[in-house]
């Protein structure tokens, strides 16, 4: 079977008051919306640099127009389907594998400074491993992937999402199987104003300093961080 890889990018429709609520609590809803738009555009740039096919998976399902009006029709986009985050991720993988993809990695949109090398290394790791997981510093994960033949839907079931136990419980499930699991480097989600300040400080002299997110933060740093 020919190798076919896919990147699944999970995002929310950029609607004011419905994205980045914890960030909005410190920065305001308008700033949180603009920042989230920049996060998505920056991570999209990274995904495109990888050279792999990708698919945008948006939420809520009824917001296709909001997504296409913003990003245009040039990107493949499908709704996330399921009653909770776990079901939506499970269904996204199931759909990809049913369409003939042999490897898939799913990432979120709270990691605007993720380097393309981390993404490509995660996909490449699936040539010799059954699964890959990228732990986030807050106890969750920012990336998860599987080979088609080793896909394990139950890692998405019975998890208390948006808690600091997500990564640990996911790994406990994986360790109870014969699957070979590769760990990607730990990365930092951007969920709060403190996370945003840390993103700004650690990236001022990196390749990410030319990003849309950093440009926005430079313009508004006094209002956001004073």
Domain ranges of the chain: 5-220
Q: Is it true that the peptide bond before 60 is cis, omega within 30 degrees of 0? A: yes
Tokens representing residue 138 in the block = 């807050």
Which segments within the chain are labelled E, that is strand?
5-12, 54-59, 77-79, 103-107, 131-135, 141-147, 181-183
Strands 77-79 and 103-107: unpaired
Tens of each residue's pLDDT in the chain, 226 residues: 567 999 999 999 999 999 999 999 999 999 999 999 999 999 999 999 999 999 999 999 999 999 999 998 899 999 999 999 999 999 999 999 999 999 999 999 999 999 999 999 999 999 999 999 999 999 999 999 999 999 999 999 999 999 999 999 999 999 999 999 999 999 999 999 999 999 999 998 898 989 999 999 999 999 999 8
Residue 155 is given by DSSP the state G
CB atoms within 10 A of CB 203: 18
Q: What is the 3-state secondary structure (H, E, C) of 198-219?
A: HHHHHCCCCHHHHCHHHHHHHH
Q: Distance between CA 128 and CA 211 in Å, rounded?
A: 33
Q: Distance between CA 134 and CA 147 in Å, rounded?
A: 15
The pLDDT assigned to 2 comes to 66
Query: Which CATH number is 5-220 given?
Result: 3.90.550.10
The pLDDT assigned to 205 comes to 87
- pTM of the model as a whole: 0.96
Tokens representing residue 36 in the block = 């989230």
Three-state secondary structure call for residue 99 = coil
Handedness of CA 58, 10, 220, 224 (dihedral sign): positive
The pLDDT assigned to 1 comes to 52
CB atoms within 10 A of CB 104: 28
The pLDDT assigned to 3 comes to 77
CB atoms within 10 A of CB 157: 12
Three-state secondary structure call for residue 31 = helix
CB atoms within 10 A of CB 53: 14
Q: Distance between CA 33 and CA 189 in Å, rounded?
A: 16
């Amino acid at each position: 079977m020919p190798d076919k890889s896919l990147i699944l990018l999970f995002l929310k429709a950029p609607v004011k008051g419905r994205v980045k609520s914890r960030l909005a609590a410190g920065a305001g809803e308008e700033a949180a919306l603009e920042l989230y738009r920049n996060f998505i555009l920056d991570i999209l740039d990274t995904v495109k640099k990888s050279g792999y096919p990708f698919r945008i998976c948006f939420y809520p399902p009824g917001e296709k127009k909001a997504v296409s009006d913003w990003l245009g029709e040039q990107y493949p986009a499908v709704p996330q389907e399921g009653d909770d985050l776990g079901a939506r991720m499970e269904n996204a993988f199931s759909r990809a594998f049913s369409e003939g993809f042999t490897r898939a990695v799913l990432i979120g949109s709270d990691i605007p400074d993720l380097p393309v090398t981390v993404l490509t290394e995660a996909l490449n790791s699936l040539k010799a491993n059954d699964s890959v997981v990228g732990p986030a510093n807050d106890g969750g994960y920012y990336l998860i992937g599987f080979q088609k033949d080793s896909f394990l839907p139950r890692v998405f079931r019975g998890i208390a999402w948006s808690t600091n136990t997500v990564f640990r419980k996911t790994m406990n499930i994986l360790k109870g199987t014969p699957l070979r699991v590769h760990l990607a480097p730990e990365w930092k989600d951007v969920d709060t104003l403190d996370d945003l300040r840390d993103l700004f400080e650690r990236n001022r002299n990196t390749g990410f300093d030319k990003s849309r997110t950093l440009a926005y933060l430079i313009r508004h740093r006094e209002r956001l961080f004073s």
